[in-house]
Amino acid sequence: MASSLGLPAIGFDINPVMVIVAKARLLPFSETPSLAPLALAILEESRRCIYTTNGDPLLIWFKPKTAATLRSLERACNKILVGSDDNWNVNSISSLASTFYTALFKVCRTLVSSLRTANPTWTRLPKDNKERVGFSAKEIEDQFLSAISLICRAAGSEMSRPPQVACRVKLADATTETPAELVDVVLTSPPYCTRIDYAVSTRVELALISRLAEVDVGQLRRRMIGTTVVPDAEIDIRNEWGETCRKFLNDVYRHPSKASKGYYSSTHKDYFNKISLSLKGLANSLKKGGPAFVIVQDSFYKDIYNDLPKIVTEMARSQNLALRHRNDFVSSTCMSRVNSRALAHKMRKGSTEAVLCFVKE
């Protein structure tokens, strides 16, 4: 969006899959006529590729022949658009190459649709080898061409005008890295405290790029904000997290439900620790007087209200970020409603998404 408005921007994400998707969104409109011919060239190259799939992580979901076809397509994309694994880097991959990898992501998502659960972010693992999905090479190739066609149509829409300025998208951890230069404005929506495992939700795509990006999915899960993995070390509650956060964490710890004192207490402290570190980096990278827009959503732990907008506001205050405006939007389609038992609580009929506008003092 910044690019379409002529505004230079820097985008961060810790997940290489999402970096590739974002780079694909920056593909100039002038490049779209090349997509269909390149797709045909990739198909021809993939038919000449013969890859054994022994040990391929794609075999977790796909039968051997299906996995081999997908891997051949991925290898053909790499050969034609990247060059070699040695030269491949998430931060340097082109928007053109990213577009074709994004099309392959779409193909993989479509093929494993039968393994989706009630949680729309979750694709379950097959119970055994017999449950792995299988498709013919032609079906997979048709899906690939269809995905490219869809991208071409989307690129021609009003929301996909040619970029007027160059925008950078890079792989980075917001809790430890900030832009080298100061920025005029920050816009971010960190993961809500709703226990959605974003690394697991993209594990099929991570398997597809496993030969390019050496990602340890377990470590990626551990590093992400909102992870459901217990942290390696005990985390102390800090004063700069604010009174509301400290009270919420104490209430979680004292809750009589199973694992509240252990697992849930630890993962919630990990979440707020990472949010606090991210806000610190955000404040350090923002020019004095610059605005920072942070979008968050409230939630519940059991019957304990998690007022995340208020918590983030108190955390931001400790980083010299003063709240200037707040706009609330009631969301009736929040992720908490995936759990049917949550509907028994009248207070959970909807969640509040809040757009918080801070200014650096």
Q: Are residues 17 and 135 in the same domain?
A: yes
Q: Are residues 115 and 259 in the same domain?
A: no
Q: pLDDT per residue over 279-336, tens digit each?
A: 999 999 999 999 999 999 999 999 999 999 999 999 999 999 999 999 999 876 655 5
The total of other beta-carbon atoms located within 10 Å of residue 136's CB is 11
Q: pLDDT per residue over 67-119, tens digit each?
A: 999 999 999 999 999 876 665 678 889 999 999 999 999 999 999 988 877 66
pLDDT of residue 150: 92
Boundary of a domain, candidates 168, 195, 212: 168
Q: Are residues 25 and 162 in the same domain?
A: yes
pLDDT of residue 85: 61
Is 143 in contact with 111 (CB distance < 8 Å)? yes
Mean pLDDT along residues 16-38: 92
Domain assignment present for residue 159? The answer is yes
From the number of C-beta atoms within 10 Å of its C-beta (0-12, 13-18, 19+), residue 50 rates as exposed
pLDDT of residue 343: 47
Is 352 in contact with 329 (CB distance < 8 Å)? yes
Q: Are residues 141 and 20 in the same domain?
A: yes
Structural domains in the chain (count): 2
* d(C-alpha 116, C-alpha 153), whole Å: 27
Is 8 in contact with 159 (CB distance < 8 Å)? no
Domain assignment present for residue 154? The answer is yes
pLDDT of residue 346: 44
Burial of 53-82, coded b for 16+ CB within 10 Å and e otherwise, reads beebbbbebbbbebbbbbbbbbbbbbebbb
Phi, psi angles (nearest 5°) of residue 152: -60, -40
Q: Are residues 108 and 238 in the same domain?
A: no
Residue in the block written with tokens 């108190």: 314
Domain assignment present for residue 36? The answer is yes
Q: Are residues 17 and 158 in the same domain?
A: yes
Q: What's the predicted TM-score (pTM) here?
A: 0.87
* Domain assignment of residue 107, given as a range: 10-168
Q: Are residues 342 and 264 in the same domain?
A: yes
